[in-house]
Amino acid sequence: MSRAALLVLADGRFPAGGHAHSGGAEAAVKAGRVTGAASLEDFCRGRLHTAGRVAAALAAAAVLGVDPVELDAAADARTPSPALRTAARKLGRQLTRAARATWPSDELDALAREFPKGAHQPVVLGLTARAAGLGAVDAAYCAAYESVSGPASATVRLLSLDPFEATGVLARLAPELDRVADRAVEDARCVVDEGADALPAASAPLLEIGAEVHAGWGVRLFAS
């Protein structure tokens, strides 16, 4: 197992399209729910323990060999917002392209054929980690970290927030990120034994509502 591969996959410069998405932060800023570092931390914490935990479990389960078609259907069922489902598949398609170029894999090729418009990003992330020789916990960490690092980076642009403050938010969330990643691996192992119904279904209604509102804007900085 190459830990260097984990650094490549988790690097914000990996061309997987995440820079164009705010993870709901743009809608939250517009609604006045994120106004600075303290409210950004609250937002990221909520996202980590809901959408982040679900994404981490999906990614970990994919590494453990659970059928990606089954996982994709489970991801759909856990994403009520059509706008968020569309965003997840766009990100999945872009990640598939980048992953196939970086870590060629028959499983990634098969996924691309099965989902020409893109599978859900966490599912692709798990198969990418598997192709890179990484473990379930590595994929869980990547997914959990993406769930907070994306909104933090976006808020720097949206509010001209001091980057040091945004980085401080991520550092303070690190112990919780550890717990979410560990729990996601436990969830994924349950999925191997019990099926996709064992995946967590933590909900974040304001993220879902905000995504639908955001999708209707005529002018926006981020795609989601």
Domain boundaries in the chain? 3-209
| Residues in Cβ contact with 187 at an 8 Å cutoff, skipping those fewer than 6 apart | 53, 57, 60, 61, 198, 199, 200
pLDDT at 57 over 90: yes
* Local confidence band at 161 (pLDDT 50, 70, 90 cut-offs): very high
Question: 36 is written with which tokens?
Answer: 């600075």
Contact 181, 47 (CB under 8 A): no
Predicted TM-score of the model (pTM) = 0.95
Calpha distance 66→3 (Å, rounded) = 23
Calpha distance 176→50 (Å, rounded) = 12
- What's the rounded mean pLDDT across residues 22-47? 97
- What's the rounded mean pLDDT across residues 96-117? 96
For the domain bounded by 3-209, which CATH number is listed? 1.10.4190.10
Q: Please give the pLDDT value at position 3.
A: 76
| Residues in Cβ contact with 219 at an 8 Å cutoff, skipping those fewer than 6 apart | none
pLDDT at 1 over 60: no
pLDDT at 2 over 70: no
- What's the rounded mean pLDDT across residues 47-53? 97
pLDDT at 195 over 90: yes
